[in-house]
Structure 1
Amino acid sequence: MGGTMTAEALPESSQPRRGDSPWPVPPENGYTVDDFFTLDLPPHTELIDGSLVFVSPQRKFHTPAMYLLEQGLRQHVPDDLRVRREMAVVLGKRNAPEPDLVVVTAQADKDQRQTRYQAADVLLAVEVVSPDSEDRDRDTKPHKYAGAGIKHFWLVEMAGEHDRPMVVTYELDPVNRTYISTGAHHDRLKLSVPYDIDIDLTAIDEL
């Protein structure tokens, strides 16, 4: 995801503007989730701590890594879960990030018109680290996902001489609402939680 920017909730031309910026001045306390979902924004914009975060160009690694993990997650997904990509997750009043991938309950995924999921319906959030969003992907977002009670989190980095995915897996400590690392996976991602998963990470070479 791209650099943090802010914008006014009401796109009226009469709204005050700062300098030569095309965006009006943001609300004093930042945006709420309710504001966010009424704005006309570029695709994949996120709301982090009341500020808008826009997408920047991604390196090539991002797309095949997402595809590989999405297909791997779908391979054995239970009937009561769904795998989705790039959907907003509401974490609180001023936070609606967009993980690269999520596993959600089927019950929360029945409306084809929906634009978001609630944190309580998300079992796994996955972030593929981008050069311009390293701090958010590695620190800000995991902290917020854990605080919202999302049980599982994966951080995907480009690593090694072949630039393949390294997946660092985390599980929620429900008492402290923090993530505990459960492993760093290089060539193969084989897990029994949140369900049986077996992904050949070297297969990215063929994508």
Structure 2
Amino acid sequence: MARVPAPTWTRAEFEALPEDLPVRVSLVHGELVPRPRPRPIHQRVARRLATRIEDAAPAAWQVDTDVDVLLDDDETEPVEMAPDIVVYSTDHDPYERPIPADLVTLVVEVVSPSTKRKDRRAHPELYAEAGIRHFWRVETDQLAPAFAIYTYEIDDATGRYVATGVHHDRISVTSPFGLDIELKPVRDH
């Protein structure tokens, strides 16, 4: 049986969707992609990490969770997604959505069982194509030793992310700005 193609959505149609939809959605190449509601532990890790990043961020950057980022404004295949954590320029008005990708320096995805394939493969590819310089992936396996933050930065030669570190107990980086965060309070229940 032939697959019926999904209707293509424009950015205007996507932006017109009500904020109180019963399901969260992203717009990927013009298609609505439902996103499962996260578990409380997922939200807790994202909130705690976002708070620590915000505390360390210079005044030129603002930090929010689960906000829309415009990755590709293509007329027929736009891409707009809401990473778990977004660090973006204070040049963007926080009352406006979406945030243009060129104002974002870091996105963070907290991996959940239902989103692991997308968080590990598909989403980083879309973020790199949009030119977002830094990407972090937080693995939240129920066993504390498995908790890790994988950091990536765009390689200017390839336009793809290259690994810059794996952090278990502490994340200490100088880019996109200086951060030194103990991870035990982020990961512990």
- In 1, the alpha carbon distance for the partners of 2:61 and 2:84 equals 17
Question: 1:44-193, aligned counterparts within 5 Å?
Answer: 44-92=24-72, 93=74, 94-108=78-92, 110-112=93-95, 114-159=96-141, 161-162=143-144, 165-193=147-175
Determine helix, strand or coil for the equivalent of 1:131: coil
- In 1, the alpha carbon distance for the partners of 2:163 and 2:185 equals 24
> Would the alpha carbon gap of residues 44 and 198 (structure 1) be closer, same or farther in structure 2, given more than 3 Å must change?
farther
1:37 deviation in Å?
0.7
Relative to the length of structure 1, the TM-score reads 0.79
Moved more, 33-42 or 148-157: 33-42
Residue 14 of structure 1 aligns with which residue?
none
* Larger gyration radius, structure 1 or structure 2: 1
Letter in 1 for 2:85: L
> Would the alpha carbon gap of residues 173 and 158 (structure 1) be closer, same or farther in structure 2, given more than 3 Å must change?
same
The CA RMSD over aligned residues, in Å, is 2.1
Aligned residues of 1:90 and 1:116 also touching (Cα < 8 A)? yes
> Would the alpha carbon gap of residues 33 and 165 (structure 1) be closer, same or farther in structure 2, given more than 3 Å must change?
farther
Aligned residues of 2:56 and 2:179 also touching (Cα < 8 A)? yes
Letter in 2 for 1:146: A
Aligned residues of 2:24 and 2:36 also touching (Cα < 8 A)? no
Q: Can you list the C-alpha shifts for 1:144-180, whole angstroms capped at 9, x where unaligned?
A: 1101110000001114732663100000012211000
Residue 3 of structure 1 aligns with which residue?
none
The alignment-based identity, stated in percent, is 31
Letter in 2 for 1:79: A
- In 1, the alpha carbon distance for the partners of 2:135 and 2:161 equals 8
- Flag structure 1 segments of 5+ consecutive residues without an equivalent: 1-17, 19-24
- In 2, the alpha carbon distance for the partners of 1:169 and 1:31 equals 32
- Structure 1 residue ranges (4+ consecutive) displaced by more than 4 angstroms after TM superposition: none
Residue 11 of structure 1 aligns with which residue?
none
> Would the alpha carbon gap of residues 163 and 59 (structure 1) be closer, same or farther in structure 2, given more than 3 Å must change?
farther
Determine helix, strand or coil for the equivalent of 2:164: strand
- Flag structure 2 segments of 5+ consecutive residues without an equivalent: none
* Paired residues, number: 180
Determine helix, strand or coil for the equivalent of 2:181: strand
